[in-house]
Amino acid sequence: MTVLSGAGISAESGVPTFRDVETGLWSKVDPYEISSTQGWQRHPEKVWAWYLWRHYLMQGVQPNDGHRAVAAWEDHAEVHVVTQNVDNLHERAGSQRVYHLHGSLFEFRCDRCQDEYQGELPDMPEPVETETPQCRCGGLIRPNVVWFGEALPESAWQKSVDAVGNADVVIVVGTSSIVYPAAGLPELALANGIPVIEVNPEPTPLSNAATATVREPAAVALPTLLQRLPSILS
Ligand code: BV8
Ligand code: ZN
C-alpha cells in the first residue's frame, strides 16, 4: 500500500495549506517568488524569514488522526508514504517509510557548497525579513526544500516511483494534484492497473481518472478507510 500525501493531510493539525484562498500560505505571498531559486537570488532575507516562520509554526502542531491512521496501517500491510509535505508529521505519527519529494523544513544547507547547516535557528513567530546565516565558504544557508524549477531529490524520487509502481493500492490524500512531477505518480499507478483512491473534500484534476474518490477530510476518512476499502473498490 502506498500513500501519496499533500498539504491537506496536515490541515487538521493547523498547518496552512498552499492554495486555500483565505488561509493558504500562498494567499499572502507569490509562491513563485518565495519558493523559487529566482526568489532566493533576488531577496534571500525574505525567503529565509518565510521558511523560519513555517519552521516555527511546526513547533505548535501535532499529528492528527489522518497521520495516525496511516501509521497504524503498518500493523496490517507494508505501507510506503510519499509526501510533498516538508513537515515531519508522518514521522511523528509513527510512519516508518516516508519519502519527502520536496524536502524538509528541518534540514538546512549552504546554497554554494551544499554543506549541511547545524547552527542555531531564531524563533520567527511572524515572518520578519532577516539576514541569512553565512557558510564558511561565503555561501548563504537555505532550507533543504525543493523550489520550483529545481530537481527533486534523486533517492526519494526513485523510492517513490518504485513504491507507487509496486503498490496493490495507492491512496492520494490532501493534494490538489497540480504540481509535477509528484502529480504524475497517480497516473503511473493507473497506467499499471493499480487502483487509486483520492481522499479530498474537493475535486481535483485527478478526480475523474481516480478509481474512487472519498469526499471527506483526511482525519475523518483515513481512520476507517481500510475497513471500507472492499466496498469502495467494488
Ligand atoms: C521540476 C516545497 C525540473 C517548498 C514545493 C509539467 C507540467 C506543468 C508544470 C511543470 C511540469 N513539470 C514541472 C513543472 C513545473 C513545476 C510545476 O509543477 N508547476 C505547477 C504549479 C504547474 N514543477 C517544478 O518546478 C518541480 N521541479 O520540475 O524541476 C527539473 C528537472 C531536472 C533538473 C532541474 C529541474 C518542483 C516542484 C516542487 C516545488 N516545491 N514545495 C515548500 O513547501 O515551500 S510545491 C508545494 O506545492 C508543495 O510541496 C506541494 O507539492 C504543492 C502544493 O500542493 P498540495 O500539497 O497539494 O497543497 P494545496 O494547498 O495545493 O492543496 C491542498 C489540497 O488538500 C486541496 O486539494 C484541498 O482540497 C485539500 N484539503 C484541504 N483540507 C483537507 C484536504 N484534503 C484532505 N483533508 C483535509 N482536511
Ligand atoms: Zn558553503
Instruction: List pLDDT tens digits, range 134-158.
Output: 999 999 999 999 999 999 999 999 9
DSSP secondary structure code for residue 169 in this structure: -
- Ligand 1 pocket: which of 179, 213, 220 to mutate (most atoms within 8 A of CB): 179
- Residues with Cβ within 8 Å of residue 46, at least 6 apart in sequence: 34, 39, 127, 129
Render 81-135 in DSSP notation, one character per residue. EEE---S-HHHHHT-S-EEETTEEEEEEEETTT--B--S-----SS----PPPB-
Cis peptide before 181 (omega within 30 of 0): yes
- Please tell me the distance between residue 106's alpha carbon and the centre of ligand 2 in angstroms: 18
* Grid coordinates given for 105: 523544513
- Please tell me the distance between residue 141's alpha carbon and the centre of ligand 2 in angstroms: 8
Phi, psi dihedrals of residue 214, rounded to the nearest 5°: -120, 105
Answer whether 44 contacts ligand 1 (Cβ < 6 A): no
- Flag the least confident range among 17-26, 33-42, 127-136, 189-198: 17-26
Closest atom of ligand 1 relative to the 176 alpha carbon:
67
pLDDT value, residue 21: 58
* Grid coordinates given for 74: 503498518
- Residues with Cβ within 8 Å of residue 189, at least 6 apart in sequence: 2, 164, 165, 167, 170, 195, 196
- Please tell me the distance between residue 42's alpha carbon and the centre of ligand 2 in angstroms: 19
Q: Whose CA is nearest to atom 40 of ligand 1?
A: 147
Maximal C-alpha separation, the chain: 60
Closest atom of ligand 1 relative to the 25 alpha carbon:
60
pLDDT value, residue 33: 83
Instruction: List pLDDT tens digits, range 50-83.
Output: 999 999 999 999 999 999 999 999 999 999 999 9
Q: Are 49 and 130 in contact (CB under 8 A)?
A: yes
| Annotation marks residue 55 as catalytic | no
